């Protein structure tokens, strides 16, 4: 092999290394959803979850994507997109994976149109209010959620919306991504419409 070929080979190798993803063992982050499959989740309810163009999306029905594994202390990073009237959220430490709700988990809300905005987008329902409520509709957002012991912190697009909230009811459980299950309107109909998308979901055990 001549010198020119050797240099070209070395440069090719360095370029490949610079674009190679870091192993999760080095960063501590584990990918739950990467746009390719839902192998880490089980669907409950009738939401019409499907993968389109590298994102998981639902626009009808009420339901959840629930992780197959249980987690205790961790950080979550999730990228999401919703319409103005979409009702979504990330439920953490779900104690009943077959019936997810704010009474048996912590709901980090995504709902700009919630009638009581104090527990809308950026809040943990019935635990940590947000004021003023940030708006998430019509754009890609990043949630960073930390659950460590009885302490919870939520950051939305770099803005801390929950700072060290305390509660010890649920020490571990599943994680669930929500579509629908909103409050009933004046005709008694539950809101199950509005587009909800998740593009990337990662977890880092603490």
For residue 165, the domain's CATH number is 2.60.120.560
- Taking only the tens place, the pLDDT of each residue in 177-193 is 999 876 555 565 555 67
Within a domain: residue 68? yes
Is 100 a residue whose pLDDT tops 50? Answer: yes
Within a domain: residue 13? no
How many domains in the chain? 1
Range of the domain at 128: 24-205
pTM: 0.84
Beta bridge partners of 79: 142, 200
Residue 178: C-alpha distances to residues 25, 73, 128, 195, 203 (Å): 29, 21, 19, 11, 17
- Taking only the tens place, the pLDDT of each residue in 26-49 is 589 999 999 999 999 999 999 999
- Look up residue 177 and give its two tokens: 């991504």
Residue 67: C-alpha distances to residues 49, 61, 167 (Å): 14, 19, 22
Phi, psi of 112 (to 5 degrees): -65, -30
């Amino acid at each position: 092999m001549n010198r020119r070929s050797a240099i070209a080979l070395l440069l090719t190798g360095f370029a490949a290394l610079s674009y190679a993803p870091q192993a999760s063992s080095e960063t501590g982050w584990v990918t739950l959803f990467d746009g390719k499959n839902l192998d880490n989740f089980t669907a409950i309810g009738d939401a019409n979850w499907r993968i389109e163009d590298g994102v998981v999306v639902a626009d009808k029905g009420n339901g959840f994507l629930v992780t197959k594994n249980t987690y205790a202390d961790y950080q979550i990073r999730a990228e999401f997109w919703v319409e103005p009237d979409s009702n979504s959220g990330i439920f953490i430490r779900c104690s009943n994976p077959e019936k997810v709700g704010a009474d048996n988990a912590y709901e980090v809300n995504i709902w700009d149109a919630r009638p009581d905005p104090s527990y809308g987008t950026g809040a943990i329902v019935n635990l940590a209010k947000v004021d003023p409520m940030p708006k998430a509709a019509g754009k890609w957002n990043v949630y960073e959620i930390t659950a460590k012991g009885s302490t919870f912190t939520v950051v939305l697009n770099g803005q801390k919306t929950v700072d060290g909230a305390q509660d010890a009811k649920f020490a571990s459980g599943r994680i669930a991504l929500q579509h629908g299950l909103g409050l009933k309107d004046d005709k008694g109909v539950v809101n199950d419409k509005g587009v909800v998308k998740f593009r990337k979901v990662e977890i880092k055990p603490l």
